[in-house]
Amino acid sequence: MAQEDRVRWDQRYETAVLEAMPGPITPPSKFGDHVDLFPTTGFALELACGSGGTSVWLALRGLKVHGVDISGTAIGLAKKLAAENAVSSSCRFDVVDLDRGLPEGPQADLVVCHLFRDVRLYPQMVQRLTPGGLLAVAVLSEVDAKPGPFRAMAGELTDAFGHLEILEAGEGDGHAWILARGIETA
Ligand SMILES: C[S@@+](CC[C@H](N)C(=O)[O-])C[C@H]1O[C@@H](n2cnc3c(N)ncnc32)[C@H](O)[C@@H]1O
């Protein structure tokens, strides 16, 4: 499955190069109204970072960033975007198959996962957060949309992350999202 995903996403990003590069450097679109909650220092891990628009935005904001994605094409674009914006020294991008879990790395002040869903990763995302660190997750949802294999059921994110300090959460129009702070664990 992961190999099929890799080929499919590589093809999409190759088309994107022709149509729309360089990509936009933006906060994750589902969190555009809550940009002030995102840190300006520390270390961020971005899962399924795609062509790097969010990671580079975070680096320009002042963070050190590790972005990972299964698509080598996307990772190549992300590295190029970082170089074009003079933040290569703040960014590391790697091809990683998240079907195998999160990559090794330090605790993160920010874990972002935007429009990629793998429920098996939810506990690992929480473990990777520093106490007080920000978790930002947005997924496709069945709420206001037809059920589908990649979509979260109603309440999935609040069920998975409700033990954190929830700052914002919502569902609707086929999406679900949550912003939550890591808590001290014993
Ligand atoms: C809808 S895109 C979202 C990209 C980016 N986060 C954004 O919001 O623009 C989904 C991303 O998940 C990546 N992806 C799919 N399966 C993956 C896997 N098993 N491991 C890592 N990344 C994966 C794809 O390459 C693609 O970049």
CATH number at residue 123: 3.40.50.150
Q: Which two tokens mark 3?
A: 């190999």
> CB under 6 Å to ligand 1: residues?
2, 5, 9, 28, 48-50, 69-71, 74, 96-99, 114-116
What confidence score (pLDDT) does residue 23 get?
62
* Residue 17, pLDDT above cutoff 80: no
Alpha helices for the chain (secondary structure H):
2-20, 53-61, 72-84, 122-128, 156-161
Residue 39 within a domain: yes
CA distance linking residue 58 with residue 27, whole number of Å: 8
Q: Please report the sign of the dihedral spanned by the C-alpha atoms of residue 96, residue 102, residue 103, residue 108.
A: positive
User: Measured from the CA of 5, which atom of ligand 1 is nearest?
Assistant: 16
How does the average pLDDT of the chain come out, rounded? 93
Q: Which two tokens mark 101?
A: 């879990």
Question: How far is CA 58 from each of CA 8, 35, 99, 110, 139, rounded to the nearest angstrom?
Answer: 27, 11, 25, 10, 20
Residue 87 lies in domain: 2-181
Residue 186 within a domain: no
CA distance linking residue 52 with residue 48, whole number of Å: 9
Nearest CA to ligand 1 atom 3: 115
Residue 171 within a domain: yes
What confidence score (pLDDT) does residue 114 get?
96
Give me the number of domains the chain comprises: 1
Residue 22 within a domain: yes
Please, are residues 87 and 53 in contact by the beta-carbon 8 Å criterion?
no
Residue 167 within a domain: yes
Distance from residue 9's CA to the centre of ligand 1 (Å) = 8
Residue 51 within a domain: yes
Q: What is the pLDDT of residues 57-106, one digit of tens each?
A: 999 999 999 999 999 999 999 999 999 999 999 999 999 999 999 999 99
CA distance linking residue 169 with residue 178, whole number of Å: 4
CA distance linking residue 67 with residue 50, whole number of Å: 8
* Residue 21, pLDDT above cutoff 80: no
Among 13, 21, 66, 70, which residue has the most ligand 1 atoms within 8 Å of its CB, making it the best to mutate? 70
Distance from residue 185's CA to the centre of ligand 1 (Å) = 30
Q: Which two tokens mark 137?
A: 């997750």
Residue 59 within a domain: yes
Q: What is the pLDDT of residues 132-144, one digit of tens each?
A: 999 999 999 999 9
What confidence score (pLDDT) does residue 37 get?
97
